[in-house]
Structure 1
Amino acid sequence: MELRQLQYFLAVAEELNFSRAAERLRITQPPLSLQIQNLEKDLGIPLFYRNNRHVELTDAGKLFFDEVCKIFDQLHRAIENAQRTHHGEIGTLKVGFVGSATYDILPAVLREFRSLYPDVQVHLFEMATPAQIQALREEEIDIGVLRPPVNSDALCTEIVSISPCMLAVPKQHPLTEKENIVLSDLNLYPFVMLSRKTWAGLYNEILALCNPMIQQEALEFQTVIGLVAAGLGIAVVPQSAMNLHTQHVVYLDLNNQLPSASMGVSWRRNNQSPLVKAFIEIAKEMR
């Protein structure tokens, strides 16, 4: 049984006239009749009652017609979905992200992506940068929204956000009264540090800048800010962390004495998915 035979059967079943069906299929009537006969022979049942004046589906033919229609509906959906997937209109995108991306560039990128690709399922996975790099290599995620640097030849990285860092201090801290803060002033106070496991680059830069007296470490900036609010110490945080504003924390600008904070998107170099390309382009436009 061939797909062409089923197409011929549908034409005859819908027209109930071999001449009209042949004209619709743009073939002559004899090969059409032969194909229907071969189909009935393959099935071992008659599909039509026919004579010189009349063509009618048998009961078996009516049931077969309903089922063949379902087959072609499914086939058309399969073709449409394959085409839409190829063009990036539907599918699934798995995105890893660092927690701090949720008060940086990620919400805006997701809003724009979802408005442009409403039929794409986006699955989000919160994880630290090292875990994202591993997940990208192992094809567990398609895109990582993370903190550079990313040292892997298998991955590409695009910087999508750069902002200065601020000094977060508890409200009424002595540093809030100081007009000109220099880095050596910071050595007098305990620090709350974002763990090296979460962002090794920033951790090492802070160590090199001011040799901090580390009181406590945390895995996420939300926790860092909370500990600063509790009075455990001061912290160097990205400017975007000010979105986590609390009445118990003051953010101080040290006039470019602190490092800059970069956010990047990474993906596998060999990943040619149109969805990945679209997400990256949107992220770049948000810079």
Structure 2
Amino acid sequence: MELRQLQYFLTVAEELNFSRAAERLRITQPPLSLQIQNLEKELGFPLFYRNNRHVELTDAGKVFVEEVRKISDHLHRAVENAQRTHYGEIGNLTVGFVGAATYDILPAVLREFRSLYPDVQVHLLELSTPKQIEALRQEKIDVGVLRPPIHDDTLCTEIVSTVPCALAVPKQHPLVGKKNISLADLTPHDFVMLSRKTWAGLYDEILGLCNPIIRQEAFEFQTVIGLVAAGMGIAVVPQSAINLHTQDVVFLDMKDQLPVASMGVSWRKNERSPLVKTFISMAKELG
């Protein structure tokens, strides 16, 4: 039994006329009649009562046509869904992200992506950069929004945004109001540092710049800013963290003396999913 035979059968069942059915199918009537006869032989029962003037479904044909319509509808849906999956219009996308991405590039990318592809199910997992790398290796996430550099030969990484860092200090701190702050001016003061486990690159850069006195570490910039507000020390943070501003924190511009904070996207080198490619392209464009 072939799909073509079922299509021929449905067309004849709808027209109840072999000539009109053949015209719709763009074939001649004899091969259409032959295909219906072959189908009936394979089934072992007639599908139509027919004579020179009249064509009518048998009782068995009436049951068969309803089931074949279900098969046809299901097949059309399967083709449509497969095409939409191929073009990245439906499916599932699991995105890992560092917490800082939520006040950086991630909201804009998600808004645009969900607007253009409303039928794609986007699943979000907040993970540190090292955990995202491991999750990518284990195929637990499809793409990661994380902090470069990434040293893994199995992954591709693109930097999608860069922002300068600023110095976050408590509102009443001695550095507030001081002009031309240098790195040497930071040395006597306690630091609140984002943990190296969260962002090794920034941690090491700050150590190399000013050999800070580290009083406290935290895993998220939101916590870092909160500890600065509490007077626990000063901190080097991306300027995007100004979105976490509290009335007890002042952000100072040190005129290119502090590191530049990068945000990147990573994915597996062998990744073929059009959803991943679309998400990456959108992140690069918006970044």
TM-score (norm 2): 0.95
Give the distance between the partners of 1:74 and 1:145, measured in 2 at CA. Answer: 37
Match of 1:68 in 2: 68
Kindly state the Cα deviation for residue 246 of structure 1 after the two structures are TM-superposed.
0.8
Aligned residues: 287
Match of 2:205 in 1: 205
Match of 2:120 in 1: 120
Kindly state the Cα deviation for residue 229 of structure 1 after the two structures are TM-superposed.
1.3
Q: Secondary structure at the match of 2:176?
A: helix
Give the distance between the partners of 1:104 and 1:20, measured in 2 at CA. Answer: 63
Q: Secondary structure at the match of 1:157?
A: strand
Match of 1:260 in 2: 260
Give the distance between the partners of 2:198 and 2:266, measured in 1 at CA. Answer: 16
Alignment of 1:90-109 (within 5 A): 90-109=90-109
> What does the per-residue CA deviation read over 1:251-276, in whole Å, with 9 as the maximum and x for residues that have no partner?
11111111111111111122132222
Amino acid at match of 2:113: F
> What does the per-residue CA deviation read over 1:168-197, in whole Å, with 9 as the maximum and x for residues that have no partner?
111111111322322222222221111100
Match of 2:175 in 1: 175
Kindly state the Cα deviation for residue 209 of structure 1 after the two structures are TM-superposed.
1.2
Alignment of 1:1-287 (within 5 A): 1-287=1-287
Kindly state the Cα deviation for residue 57 of structure 1 after the two structures are TM-superposed.
1.2
> What does the per-residue CA deviation read over 1:129-178, in whole Å, with 9 as the maximum and x for residues that have no partner?
11111111222212111100011122111111111111111111111132
Q: Which segments of structure 1 move beyond 3 Å, counting only runs of 4 or more?
A: none
Amino acid at match of 2:250: V
Range 71-80 or range 51-60, more displaced: 51-60
Structure 1 residue runs of 5 or longer lacking an equivalent are: none
Amino acid at match of 1:133: I
Range 118-127 or range 5-14, more displaced: 118-127
Amino acid at match of 1:266: S
Kindly state the Cα deviation for residue 208 of structure 1 after the two structures are TM-superposed.
1.1
Give the distance between the partners of 1:242 and 1:263, measured in 2 at CA. Answer: 16
Kindly state the Cα deviation for residue 35 of structure 1 after the two structures are TM-superposed.
2.1
Give the distance between the partners of 2:280 and 2:32, measured in 1 at CA. Answer: 52
> What does the per-residue CA deviation read over 1:74-118, in whole Å, with 9 as the maximum and x for residues that have no partner?
111111111122122222221111100000111111112222222
Root-mean-square deviation (CA, aligned residues, Å) is 1.5
Amino acid at match of 2:272: Q
In percent, how many aligned pairs have the same letter?
Answer: 79
